[in-house]
């Protein structure tokens, strides 16, 4: 039918022209973008799948970068450990040469100089091996601060200052205040010269004291350096709730029993004293508070921060505790330091005998470098010999935190008994320790002398380990945990090789520790390489899947383009013809 108002032919052609034009535009978009899905309307289901695939692919790219950086970090750590291992091997050779007994004084001095240099280099390597930050870290451990019992400061303003006292005059009575490092050093001088009367005078801290000025050479000189009655510290010392900090001692001399106090004899009472940030390296037994205590009382004291390394018995608080004519009593104390010894090592004392210890805790990291001696959470060793005026050792209400499998015994490392001598019992009552320790309360042979009453365990604090994120999700399956914890505290002892035989076994302890860490890091490196392989396979498969869903077939799209172009041109020609239909109708009028 020929009409004027409705041009049906034109409408049909316009519709097809629109379709061909849209098809042409779609083909152009797909060929220029390379994707057959550019909008959700192209394929709603596959568009959603493609978005999820893109997210996962990006996550795998990040995971691959993480694994690669992890490998670089592990390889940096292994390189540092290899250097340390080589230096330890050299120290071991030097120790074997020293033990041969053929070196003269000059040769031993040369060995000592080399050993010091090598020891310093080990510390430098561990402290400067970095990957973004320092690599090797100190193991995390549970800690505490402050005094066990709260201390109210005594007013010292009316007391005589020790500074005003003539240091050549013997003190037999009176109460004296100490408020500076120089005054504390003066007390050491007077004590060591035998000028402090037993049980006479009392000394009270009037302020916190920083001993940084005694950080050169051999460092601090102990208060009481002579075992004889004339050189012991024999009287009362009240820390008054104050803290002595930055105690530094580095002695290569033959002197024994060193600490802030050296020898403390009968009549000695030390209380309410905190000691923080210690750096003690000695070739003889020591403790941060005191080296050797006999017939004395220590209460409400603590040692926190730093390290103690000794070639003899070492304890966080005291090197050795004894009490023959008078019982030694130590109560309400704790330690939170690193303690290393070539012999016995303990959190509170290196060795104890004829002593009562109550309500003490160890948060310390403790190790002995020789198996025949051992380390204990509270004390490294305990004498059980029945000596004149002796009494049995009692350990009551004590706790051990931060246990490690290197402890020979979680409370007492080992018992010391002389054959043919009677035995005094060791009684341990109401004590507890971290349940992660699977060994015994007392290490070594017990000689039938140990009485255990109500020994319990508790769940210690756990610390999160760092990890490499090599998975695309946040769950545990995508994480590889690792530890860069490495403590070589005590390595400073090897600087004494030319002056004291440390023992090949002690060096082997550190060589074994390094080897174990290298094995651990080697296994970690293998895991990271395996993770990289798995990431690559997953990444390739996801990219292939995404390509199938998203990528355009250019050959197919070019054919569609040509088809749409021809249809568009045909539609344009026919539309021109269709638009002439109304004018034909006018010709009939």
The answer on 385 and 254 residing in a single domain is yes
In this structure, the number of other CB atoms found within 10 A of the CB of residue 386 comes to: 15
Burial (CB count <10 Å: 0-12, 13-18, 19+), residue 443: buried
Model confidence over 314-362: pLDDT tens digits? Answer: 999 998 877 554 578 999 999 999 999 888 999 999 988 888 999 999 9
The answer on 504 and 438 residing in a single domain is no
The residue out of 421, 443, 458 marking a domain boundary is 458
Residues paired with residue 270 on neighbouring β-strands, in sequence order:
237, 298
> What is the number of residues in the chain?
589
Average pLDDT in the chain: 86
Is it the case that residue 102 has pLDDT exceeding 60? yes
| Angle made by CA atoms 144, 145, 150, in degrees to the nearest 5 | 125
The pLDDT of 394-418, averaged and rounded, is: 89
The answer on 360 and 473 residing in a single domain is no
Model confidence over 175-216: pLDDT tens digits? Answer: 999 999 999 999 999 999 989 988 889 999 999 999 999 998
CA distance 100 to 112: 15
In this structure, the number of other CB atoms found within 10 A of the CB of residue 196 comes to: 25
In a domain, 4, yes or no: no
- Predicted local distance difference test score (pLDDT) of residue 98: 83
Helices 504-550/44-99 angle, 10° precision: 170
First to last CA, the chain: 16
In a domain, 318, yes or no: yes
- Residue 87 to residues 18, 82, 100, 115, 137: CA-CA distances in angstroms? 82, 9, 20, 10, 20
Residue of 171, 227, 232 lying closest to 202 (CA atoms)? 171
Please state the φ and ψ torsions of residue 110, each to the nearest 5 degrees: -65, -40
In a domain, 368, yes or no: yes
| Angle made by CA atoms 244, 276, 513, in degrees to the nearest 5 | 145
Residue of 372, 199, 222 lying closest to 284 (CA atoms)? 222
Model confidence over 131-153: pLDDT tens digits? Answer: 888 888 887 888 888 999 999 99
> CA neighbours within 13 Å on the CB side: how many for 466?
12
In a domain, 164, yes or no: yes
In a domain, 559, yes or no: no
Task: Give the domain CATH number at 283.
Answer: 2.160.20.110
The answer on 204 and 170 residing in a single domain is yes
Number of domains in the chain: 2
In a domain, 393, yes or no: yes
The answer on 492 and 453 residing in a single domain is no
CB-based contact 439:409 (threshold 8 Å): yes
Residue of 264, 272, 273 lying closest to 245 (CA atoms)? 273
Which residues contact residue 440 at a Cβ distance below 8 angstroms, ignoring those fewer than 6 apart? 409, 410
The answer on 277 and 362 residing in a single domain is yes
Model confidence over 521-579: pLDDT tens digits? Answer: 999 999 999 999 999 998 899 888 888 887 777 787 788 778 877 877 877 787 777 77
- Predicted local distance difference test score (pLDDT) of residue 462: 80
Which residues contact residue 226 at a Cβ distance below 8 angstroms, ignoring those fewer than 6 apart? 192, 194, 232, 262, 263
CA distance 308 to 318: 11
The answer on 434 and 311 residing in a single domain is yes
DSSP state letter for 503: -
The pLDDT of 12-30, averaged and rounded, is: 78
Q: Which residue has the tokens 């080992």?
A: 414
The pLDDT of 38-44, averaged and rounded, is: 79
Please state the φ and ψ torsions of residue 350, each to the nearest 5 degrees: -75, -40
- Predicted local distance difference test score (pLDDT) of residue 326: 58
The pLDDT of 40-54, averaged and rounded, is: 82
Task: Give the domain CATH number at 469.
Answer: 1.20.1330.10
Joined together, the tokens standing for residue 35 give 């994707």
The residue out of 543, 558, 580 marking a domain boundary is 543
- Residue 66 to residues 31, 250, 479, 523: CA-CA distances in angstroms? 35, 44, 11, 17
Burial (CB count <10 Å: 0-12, 13-18, 19+), residue 28: middle
Neighbour-count burial for 50-70, b at 16+ CB within 10 Å, e otherwise: beebeebbebbeebbebbeeb
- DSSP class per residue in 168-198: TSPB-S-EEEE-SHHHHHHHHHHHHTT-B-T
The answer on 187 and 334 residing in a single domain is yes
Confidence of residue 389 (pLDDT cuts 50, 70, 90): low
Percent of the chain residues topping a pLDDT of 70: 94
- The whole domain housing 327 covers 160-458
In a domain, 292, yes or no: yes
Joined together, the tokens standing for residue 524 give 């970690």
In a domain, 336, yes or no: yes
- Residue 135 to residues 131, 284, 349, 488, 531: CA-CA distances in angstroms? 6, 32, 32, 14, 22
The answer on 366 and 279 residing in a single domain is yes
The answer on 515 and 444 residing in a single domain is no
* Element (DSSP H or E) covering residue 450: strand 450-453
Residue of 29, 12, 41, 17 lying closest to 561 (CA atoms)? 29
The answer on 300 and 180 residing in a single domain is yes
The pLDDT of 41-65, averaged and rounded, is: 86
The answer on 71 and 210 residing in a single domain is no
């Amino acid at each position: 039918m020929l009409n004027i108002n409705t041009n049906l032919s034109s409408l049909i052609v316009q519709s097809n022209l629109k379709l061909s034009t849209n098809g042409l535009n779609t083909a152009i978009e797909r060929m220029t973008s390379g994707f057959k899905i550019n909008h959700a309307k192209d394929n709603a289901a596959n568009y959603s799948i493609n978005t999820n695939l893109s997210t996962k692919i990006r996550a795998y790219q990040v995971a691959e970068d993480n694994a690669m950086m992890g490998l670089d970090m592990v390889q940096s750590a292994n390189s540092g450990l290899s250097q340390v291992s080589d230096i330890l091997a050299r120290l071991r050779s030097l120790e074997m040469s020293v033990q041969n007994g053929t070196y003269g004084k000059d040769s031993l001095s040369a060995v000592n100089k080399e050993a010091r240099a090598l020891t310093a280099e080990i510390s430098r390597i561990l402290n400067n091996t970095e990957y973004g930050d320092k690599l090797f870290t100190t193991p995390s451990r549970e800690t505490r601060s402050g005094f066990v019992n709260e201390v109210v400061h005594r007013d010292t303003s009316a007391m005589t200052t020790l500074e005003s006292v003539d240091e050549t005059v013997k003190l037999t009575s009176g109460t004296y205040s100490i408020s500076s490092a120089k005054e504390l050093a003066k007390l050491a001088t007077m004590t060591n010269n035998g000028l402090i009367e037993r049980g006479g005078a009392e000394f009270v801290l009037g302020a916190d004291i920083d001993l940084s000025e005694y950080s050169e050479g051999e460092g601090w000189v102990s208060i009481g350096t002579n075992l004889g009655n004339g050189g012991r510290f024999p009287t009362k010392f009240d820390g008054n709730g104050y803290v002595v900090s930055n105690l530094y001692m580095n002695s290569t001399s033959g002197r024994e029993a060193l600490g802030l106090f050296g020898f403390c004899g009968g009549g000695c009472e030390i209380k309410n004293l905190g000691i923080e940030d210690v750096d003690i390296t000695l070739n003889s037994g020591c403790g941060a508070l005191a080296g050797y205590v006999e017939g004395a009382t220590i209460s409400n004291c603590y040692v926190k921060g730093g390290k103690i390394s000794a070639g003899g018995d070492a304890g966080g608080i005291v090197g050795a505790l004894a009490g023959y004519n008078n019982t030694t009593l130590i109560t309400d104390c704790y330690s939170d330091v690193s303690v290393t010894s070539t012999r016995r090592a303990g959190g509170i004392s290196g060795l104890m005998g004829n002593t009562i210890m109550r309500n003490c805790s160890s948060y310390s990291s403790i190790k002995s470098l020789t198996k025949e001696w051992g380390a204990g959470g509270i004390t490294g060793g305990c004498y059980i010999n029945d000596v004149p005026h002796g009494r049995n050792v009692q350990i009551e209400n004590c706790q051990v935190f931060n246990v490690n499998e290197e402890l020979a015994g979680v409370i007492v490392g080992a018992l010391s008994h002389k054959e043919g001598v009677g035995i005094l019992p060791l009684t341990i009552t109401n004590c507890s320790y971290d349940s992660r320790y699977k060994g015994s309360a007392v290490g070594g042979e017990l000689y039938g002398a140990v009485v255990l009453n109500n020994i319990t365990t508790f769940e210690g604090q756990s610390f999160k380990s760092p990890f490499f994120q090599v998975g695309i999700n946040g769950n545990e399956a995508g994480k590889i945990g690792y530890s860069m914890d490495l403590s070589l505290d005590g390595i400073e002892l090897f600087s004494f090789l030319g002056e004291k035989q440390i023992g090949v076994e002690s060096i082997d302890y550190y060589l074994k520790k390094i080897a174990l860490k290298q094995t651990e890091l080697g296994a970690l490196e293998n895991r990271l390489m395996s993770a990289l392989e798995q990431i690559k396979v997953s990444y390739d498969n996801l990219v292939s899947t995404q390509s199938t869903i998203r990528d355009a077939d250019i050959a197919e799209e070019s054919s569609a383009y040509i088809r749409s172009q021809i249809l568009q041109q045909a539609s344009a020609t026919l539309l021109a013809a269709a638009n002439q239909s109304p004018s034909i109708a006018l010709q009939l009028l």
